[in-house]
Structure 1
Amino acid sequence: MGVLENKSRARTFYKYLSKVYDRVNPFIWNEEMRDEAIAKLDIEPDDHVLDVGCGTGFATEGLLEATEHVYGLDQSAHQLEKAYAKFGKRGPVAFHRGDAERLPFQDDTFDVVWSSGSIEYWPNPVDALEECRRITKPGGRVLIVGPDYPSQSVFQKLADAIMLFYDEDEADRMFEDAGFTDFEHFIQQNRPGSPKAITTIARVPE
């Protein structure tokens, strides 16, 4: 388990990262990549969407262009404060502070559950994926964006020491263990040589 796959360490990490997150994030995960992923979900205007690990609200902004029924959840109070500054505490987004492995929502609540840049910090990603499946309506979609496993061994060792990086085979295992049977992966990248993201869209059986 990587250093940041620990909830307490991750909260401390984001306490400081939240100050510069919106300036750093576009070098790895930019608007074009975000919007490409959102387009694959075919979100309807009346769909209810949850952004798990919403952070400062970068993905939330894009999701609001597809539907006005957007909810955000994050474990970091510092990240949420940045999100409040953008949207307001009681604005267009219903924010919750909580844990991806114990989502504070009833079964079959959302049409879409989205999470980008969060799975790499989950100590038990399969548990969190099970939670995402639980709160998604039958026929709904779950989209997860995480860091693709580096191809060079020196970066692999560094990646393993920090947080969760995974390839398509590992993604298959995690999603299958979480009870998903219908899913697909695609790789996204800001520019040649930049870190790759592995994006998975899974459907909940009807």
Structure 2
Amino acid sequence: MGILENKARARLFYKYLSKVYDQINPFIWNEEMRNDSLELFGIEEGDRVLDVGCGTGFATEGLLERTEKVYGLDQSEHQLEKAYEKFGKRDQVRFHRGDAERLPFADDAFDALWSSGSIEYWPNPVDALEEFRRVVKPGGPVLVVGPNYPRSGVFRKLADAIMLFYDEAEADRMFREAGYGEFRHVTMGPDYNPEIAITTIARVPGGADEAPGATAAEIVDAPADASADD
């Protein structure tokens, strides 16, 4: 397990990274990659979408171009403070501070779930993916963007020491263990490394004949500054 696959260390890391995150991020996760992922996501106006690991809100901005019903969740108060500056705490987006592995929302609360640049910090990715399946209505999309495993042996050792990097085979294992039957992977990246990221688009099992999902009033709406566990 990498040094940043620990919630307390990851929060400390982002305490300092948050100061320059929006300047650094475009070199790794840029607008073109976000737009390509949004096309894969395929949400529609009116869909209620949860952005897990929303950070300063880069992906959130793209989601708001597709639907007005966006919720954001992150464990870093410092990243969220940057997001509040852009959107407010409860205005365009309803933000929550919380844990991807224990989402503070009701079953079937969302039509879709997005998570980009977050899975690499989760100590138990399968637990988080199971939570995603729980809070999204049957048939809804779950999109996860994470760091693709380097091909070089030297870079693989370095990657393993820092955080979670994974390839398509490992993504297959995680999504299957989490209970998804339908999913596919797409690699993408900036010009200097077009396979730096691996994007998985999955569907929550079930369909239209399942029980209806939660209404807006039934969502467990935890305070935006609720504590994230270590």
Q: Would the TM-score normalized by the shorter structure come out above 0.5?
A: yes
**Structure 2 CA distance for aligned equivalents of residues 75 and 93 of structure 1:** 16
**Cα–Cα, structure 1 residues 143 and 31, in superposed 2: closer, same or farther, change >3 Å?**
same
Aligned equivalent of 1:31: 31
**Structure 2 CA distance for aligned equivalents of residues 187 and 107 of structure 1:** 30
**Structure 1 CA distance for aligned equivalents of residues 7 and 145 of structure 2:** 19
TM-score by length of 2: 0.88
Output the aligned Cα RMSD. 0.8
Aligned equivalent of 2:161: 161
Secondary structure of 2:129's aligned partner? helix
Aligned equivalent of 2:178: 178
Gaps of 5+ in 1: none
Secondary structure of 1:191's aligned partner? coil
Question: Cα offset for 1:192?
Answer: 3.1
Aligned partner letter, 1:167: D
Aligned partner letter, 1:39: E
**Structure 2 CA distance for aligned equivalents of residues 40 and 180 of structure 1:** 17
**Structure 2 CA distance for aligned equivalents of residues 127 and 11 of structure 1:** 19
Which moved further from structure 2: 111-120 or 190-199? Answer: 190-199
Residues 187 and 194 in structure 2, CA contact (< 8 A), matched pair in contact too: no
Aligned equivalent of 2:213: none
TM-score by length of 1: 0.98
Aligned equivalent of 2:199: 199
**Structure 1 CA distance for aligned equivalents of residues 151 and 201 of structure 2:** 23
Structure with larger Rg: 2
Aligned equivalent of 2:136: 136
Q: Following superposition, which runs of at least 4 residues in structure 1 exceed 2 angstroms of deviation?
A: 192-195
Question: Cα offset for 1:193?
Answer: 3.3
**Structure 2 CA distance for aligned equivalents of residues 169 and 26 of structure 1:** 27
Residues 28 and 194 in structure 1, CA contact (< 8 A), matched pair in contact too: no
Task: Quote the sequence identity (%).
Answer: 73
Secondary structure of 1:184's aligned partner? strand
The structure carrying a bigger strand percent of its residues is 1
**Structure 2 CA distance for aligned equivalents of residues 40 and 195 of structure 1:** 16
Gaps of 5+ in 2: 208-230
Secondary structure of 2:156's aligned partner? helix
Residues 28 and 195 in structure 1, CA contact (< 8 A), matched pair in contact too: no
